[in-house]
Amino acid sequence: MDLHLLDIIIIGIYLIVTIGIGFWISKRASKNIKNYFLGGNEIKWQYLGLSNASGMFDISGTMWMVMLLFVYGLKSVWIPWLWPVFNQIFMMIFLSIWLRRSGVMTGAEWIKFRFGEGLGARLSHIIVVVFAIVVVITYVAYGFVGIGKFAAVFLPFKLSADPFTNEMLYGFIFTGLTTIYVIKGGMYSVVFTEVLQYIIMTIASIAIGVIAMNKVSPELLADFIPHDWDNIFFGWKLNMDWTGILDAANTKIAEDGWELFSIFFMMILLKGILQSMAGPAPNYDMQRVLSTRSPKDAAKMSGLVNVVLLFPRYMMIAGLTILALVFFSDELNLMGENLDFEQILPFAIKNFVPIGLMGLLIAGLLAAFMSSFAASVNAAPAYIVNDIYKRFINPNASDQQYVWMSYLSSLAVVIVGTLFAFLLGSLNSIIDWLVAALYGGYTAANLLKWYWWRFNGFGYFWGMVGGIMAAMILPYALPDFTALEAFPINLTISFIGCLLGSYFSQPDDEEVLKKFYLKTRPWGFWKPIHDKLKLEHPGIEKNNAFGRDMFNVAIGLIWQTGITASPIFMVIQHWDKFFISLIVVAVCTLILKYNWYDKMEDYPADLKTENI
């Protein structure tokens, strides 16, 4: 793609400023490992929320959602529940508060807080460290391949005549630039560069939405979409017929297997609730929670992500989609069954984005890759240094030694992740490996750890092992099953591992369980521990907020869906539905204000009254 000199200058300024921030604040980050990994728990929740949103603003995921909106219309807002996107609602309502009350630095350190120091706890600690490091390395590989592919398409310089080599060279360049500011500035650098990246991405997203609104009228759009495309609600079947408009879209719907949309919806809702109640995986999302100043700030940070991420992102998604529907349909039809939705983004930018704004937009899309990559690179050294080097190798090292080990760990993770990218090769293979072999085994063990006192370290270890092994074997044992269809089998195997591991071993140290329950105060099956604590602290109260929390989660799901749908309705200029969605969001906001926000507590009130 040919870029004007002004666009090239804008991209260059963005890269210089990003690296400059890392060096500017590096002294503050290098005081000790708490400053390096958690920003010393001094960063305001608003900045952490913007940073977290920036890290989630993955352009490959955005392009996937463009494809979904193109093919499935407004009903596509439900499909990302597969991830599930609504895990942030569970985080904001109660899980971020519970997690932040631990006061730990990493997910592996949290395992020690929950299970203690016994053999089962040590095994659990090891598997979480390994899980976290492998996840981060996989994300680094994903970022390396993604940045290379994106830059090779959108930047005008051909570094090599061979397309693959050209992509790899761009991957090395942007991976190197991002690694420099991450290693130098730690969490401070990641957060403040991601705030800058978020601002750039938001401007670019709004610009695409406005351009699309000016180019495509509702009447013009109506000629290029099937009946019910603009209806967010659904019946037993999808009933989306593209015949005569874009026949290949019907093939895509058939391949996805989501025609019985109500069954699909119920499956992703059940799967999503279980995964959300398990809490965050040990990645950048968990690190942002642990970096906040207080438990209440952690909850507010998770809530902010829903607003600042979804509205601008879906302006971009809706804008790209309707520009492609109206102006790219002929080319897409000519592709037949080989229809390539990835061409929508370059087509829209090349044909509709003016000089100056194009440079800002490409900088924003580069920022989307770099922010995800930076967040992942910053997450891994916390486990390597805090949970391996400090705990087992050199517990008495100086703060400066730990910081230098963090530099080396970050560099090692980038190198290994880059090599991993070469082995796997494509984005799809990396994503498939990540989702199938890793996250498939995470749900059961991490669900039980919050809600059941008898669940111990051995149960956690064998639940994780069983789930991960099942996720790796099932695609070969049941090749005709989708990941969604195989999930109940994987979950069952993992649950069996959890139960057998727990019941064939002794309960964890009672003092560890009491300390965890006293400080975290989850609801669930904790009665034996609560009763024993009651003897020591008569004023202690159990958490009776289950009903209120679940009601707030339900309201939060409606609230998040309204925030997702409203920018789409705005861009396609269905103003009646846009204002209805805004009213829904406003009503849900008021309910959450009085039934969630006003009732949050940093720590259980009885900790003060009992002088604990």
Q: Rounded CA gap, 280 and 302, in Å?
A: 11
Would you say residue 186 has pLDDT above 70? no
pLDDT of residue 130: 82
Return the structure tokens found at 385. 């240094």
pLDDT of residue 553: 98
Residue whose pair of structure tokens reads 């090749």 in the numeric block: 479
pLDDT of residue 4: 84
Please write the tens of the pLDDT for every residue from 44-88.
999 989 888 876 776 667 778 888 999 999 999 999 998 889 999
CA-closest candidate to residue 386, choices 405, 373, 407, 400? 405
Would you say residue 356 has pLDDT above 80? yes
> How much is the average pLDDT of 335-357?
73
- Which conformational region is residue 306 in: left (phi greater than 0), alpha (psi within -120 to 50 degrees), or beta? alpha
Q: Which residues contact 75 (CB under 8 A, 6 or more apart)?
A: 231, 232, 233, 234, 238, 240, 261
pLDDT of residue 54: 79
> How much is the average pLDDT of 301-321?
92
Q: Which residues contact 468 (CB under 8 A, 6 or more apart)?
A: 131, 437, 438, 440, 441
Would you say residue 425 has pLDDT above 60? no
What is the rounded end-to-end Cα distance, in angstroms, of the chain?
Answer: 64
* CATH class in words for 5-25+49-257+295-436: mainly alpha
Q: Which residues contact 185 (CB under 8 A, 6 or more apart)?
A: 21, 22, 23, 24, 25, 26, 29, 192, 193
pLDDT of residue 26: 60
In this prediction, what percent of the chain has a pLDDT beyond 90? 43
Please write the tens of the pLDDT for every residue from 383-420.
888 888 888 888 888 878 887 888 788 888 888 888 87
pLDDT band at 1 (very low <50, low <70, confident <90, very high): low
Query: Is the CB of residue 190 less than 8 Å from the CB of residue 182?
Result: yes
pLDDT of residue 61: 73
Please write the tens of the pLDDT for every residue from 448-487.
999 999 999 999 999 999 988 887 787 778 888 877 788 8
pLDDT of residue 151: 80
Decide which of 380 and 89 is more confident: 89
pLDDT of residue 404: 84
194-203, 296-305, 496-505, 519-528: the lowest-pLDDT one: 194-203
Mean model confidence pLDDT for the chain: 85
pLDDT band at 341 (very low <50, low <70, confident <90, very high): low
Decide which of 57 and 12 is more confident: 12
Decide which of 120 and 359 is more confident: 120
Per DSSP, the three-state class of 9 is helix
Angle at 453 between CA 297 and CA 608, to 5 degrees: 45
pLDDT of residue 60: 67
* Phi and psi at residue 479, to the nearest 5°: -65, -20
Q: Rounded CA gap, 240 and 256, in Å?
A: 13
CA-closest candidate to residue 151, choices 188, 178, 126? 178
Please write the tens of the pLDDT for every residue from 263-276.
999 999 998 999 99
Residues paired with 452 in a beta bridge? 525
**DSSP class per residue in 264-279:** HHHHHHHHHHHHHHT-
CA-closest candidate to residue 486, choices 473, 474, 498? 474
Would you say residue 313 has pLDDT above 80? yes
> How much is the average pLDDT of 300-318?
93
Please write the tens of the pLDDT for every residue from 224-266.
999 999 999 999 999 899 998 988 888 888 888 888 999 999 9
pLDDT of residue 197: 79
Would you say residue 22 has pLDDT above 80? no
pLDDT of residue 391: 81
Q: Rounded CA gap, 237 and 258, in Å?
A: 8
Q: Rounded CA gap, 518 and 495, in Å?
A: 26
pLDDT band at 424 (very low <50, low <70, confident <90, very high): low
* Phi and psi at residue 127, to the nearest 5°: -70, -30
pLDDT of residue 472: 75
pLDDT band at 154 (very low <50, low <70, confident <90, very high): confident
Residue whose pair of structure tokens reads 């529907």 in the numeric block: 325
pLDDT of residue 93: 98
Type of residue found at 311: F
Q: Rounded CA gap, 108 and 112, in Å?
A: 7
> How much is the average pLDDT of 585-610?
90
Decide which of 577 and 430 is more confident: 577
Would you say residue 290 has pLDDT above 60? yes
Type of residue found at 567: P
For the chain, give every domain's residue range: 5-25+49-257+295-436
SS3 for 359-391 is HHHHHHHHHHHHHHHHHHHHHHHHHHHHHHHHH
pLDDT of residue 469: 84
